[in-house]
Structure 1
Amino acid sequence: MELVFLGTGAGLPSKTRNVSAVALNMTQEINEVWLFDCGEATQHQILHTNLKPRKITKIFITHLHGDHIYGLPGFLSSRSFQSGENQPLCIYGPIGIKEFVESTLRLSQTNLTYPITIKEITEDGNLFETNEMIVETKKLQHGIDSYGYRIKEKDKPGELLVDKLKQIGIPPGPIYQQIKENEITTLDNGSIIYRNDVLGPAKKGKVISILGDTRYSIDHIPFIKFSDILVHESTFTQDKELLAFEYNHSTNVQAAKLAKEANINKLYLTHVSSRYQAEDIDSIIEEARKIFPSTWLANDFSVYEI
């Protein structure tokens, strides 16, 4: 599982940062990629990675500002020509995302070759649950409806205790896979093996919280608490805190404070204003790390293993 940052700029693209988009690559776990926001030219950014558009099965839109959605019609259209035929896709987002997608596709006379479902978010809480994942959402503090997403990987069964199986007379073979996949296994001799008796401790699932544009607020702490990863906007530096508040955004230091207060493992800053250039990067990171040492500033095409 890994995060692939496709666009890390705020508002408008720059020479070094495209606008917002980040992919959660879970091809090794569930053979899917989930995309969070789809700013202008996201499909171009994908071309510089090993991500396959047909593997993107879900798109989560945080809010309807243009730098987070203008790439959506182009991506949806191109996916039809990139082995996306008959590969269903679901879009989640605030009220209005359905009208935006359907209107642009209709007016451009775009006919998709795969089924698409659009689900609008109307309240906080559980968005959906699969056999492997639970996704929750929370409304944040921005000028328009903006949401955060919390993705919780369910715990996985522990490793088979091979030595214990050998001790009770079960040699290695296909039976091991059968034991791991079933709660109860009956052997040829009639003996019954209970899976929980021959498994080590469960592997704790990862928790990733990805927030949309937002002001700093301690009200977000319960939602993101104990996340392994927090992706948080960092539109401004600390000296622009009043400006950040006025424009419903956060600073690097505010994001670091939130990560510290919520006992986050790692913080990735994104959504950086184009006013900041390459020579500003070190100071942006250093300011945040004074508060929360486990902070990284994401760049376009940054890849972080989870």
Structure 2
Amino acid sequence: MKIDPEISSLKSLISALKAEVTVDHTKIEKLESQIQELKLNYGSGKKDINPLSNEDVEIDDDESDDIRSSRNKAAIVHKKIEASQKKQQKEEKSDVTNLRNSCPAKKLFYSNEGDIQMLHAYEIIPFDNKNGGVWYQGFDITYDAEKIKEEEQLEVFVVPHSHNDPEIPTGAWVMTDEANSHLYSIVTEMFEGHEFLMNTIGVRPKNHWSIDPFGLSPTVSYLLRQANITNLAINRVHYAVKKFLAESKDLEFHWRQLWAGKSDKTDVFTHMFPFGGYDIPSTCGPDRKVSENL
């Protein structure tokens, strides 16, 4: 079986990263062992502690001079551990911009335009489930109350469903990826549906409605794009993924196939509903009680 060069390169980078983590853990374990030794020495009344030699703890070249100048073993060990912890915390931040800059494999995960690679996102999203409901699981939204008044206000029109302009989304089997559908069945029913619409009423579907499948397949988005569908509306996505995209205002995006690279030939504009379900209580905001009271 022929292995994609990019996949091989990615595996090599991942192996290198794992090796770095192993080395860091080994250093930390060594430092912790030395601290325990110091505690035992102090506890037994031993006051003569030899200065730390260069072979005991490796000090990076870019570390501050005060660490190098200090010859106290405990001080150096504590500072080394503190520096390692700060480095680890910085690398674990889920901030997208920071990850793009720090990850050695960023060229495979992110394009120059800052597109999000979901395989990478799944590795950094915590997928936690905090107690306390939606207000604890969400995030703070800040805005300038005065500046927002200067923006153009939205004009809302309430139009009854009697104006006789129905939308025909997809033009095929509704939300086909909700079940374990076979590829050939999906393609066949899409051919039949589009031919029927064109021959009967002369309509070419451009929009796809997929709000209830439990999981969304990139295969279906690719087939829809090949059928000249240009817009998707999707909903059934894990709340942690929605939160991740909402924080960076990326709930609307161009869905691109993993193998497409920088080509936009597989792109299809996608709108992801921000909240849980598609019923009325889930459409006004994260707290269902607000809509229910209205």
How high is the TM-score relative to the length of structure 2? Answer: 0.23
Higher relative contact order (CA closer than 8 Å, sequence separation 6+): 1
Structure showing the higher strand proportion among its residues: 1
Which structure has the bigger radius of gyration? 2
TM-score w.r.t. length of structure 1? 0.23
